[in-house]
Amino acid sequence: MTTKLHLVADGRGRPLGMVLTGGNVADTTMLAATLEDIHVPRASRGRCDDP
């Protein structure tokens, strides 16, 4: 038995989202699930908060 870690990282190599699957699962089939796991905390709601 093997496992595979599907990981999305930012430009500095910091992990943003990851999904653990069996080793025989293709990377391309897990792209959507991995992207859905990304959570970026924000201090504000965005440009709408600018005065």
In a domain, 48, yes or no: no
| Count: domains in the chain | 1
Residue with tokens 């991995």: 34
Q: Which domain holds residue 15?
A: 3-38
Give a three-class secondary structure readout of the chain.
CCEEEEEEECCCCCEEEEEEEECCCCCHHHHHHHHHCCCCCCCCCCHHHCC
In a domain, 11, yes or no: yes
Q: What is the pLDDT of residues 1-51, one digit of tens each?
A: 899 999 999 999 999 999 999 999 988 889 899 999 888 777 776 666 555
Confidence at residue 41, expressed as pLDDT on a 0 to 100 scale: 77
Confidence at residue 4, expressed as pLDDT on a 0 to 100 scale: 94
For the whole model, what pTM was predicted? 0.64
- Cβ contacts of residue 9 below 8 Å, gap of 6+? 15, 16
Phi first, then psi: give them for residue 34, nearest 5 degrees. Answer: -70, -40
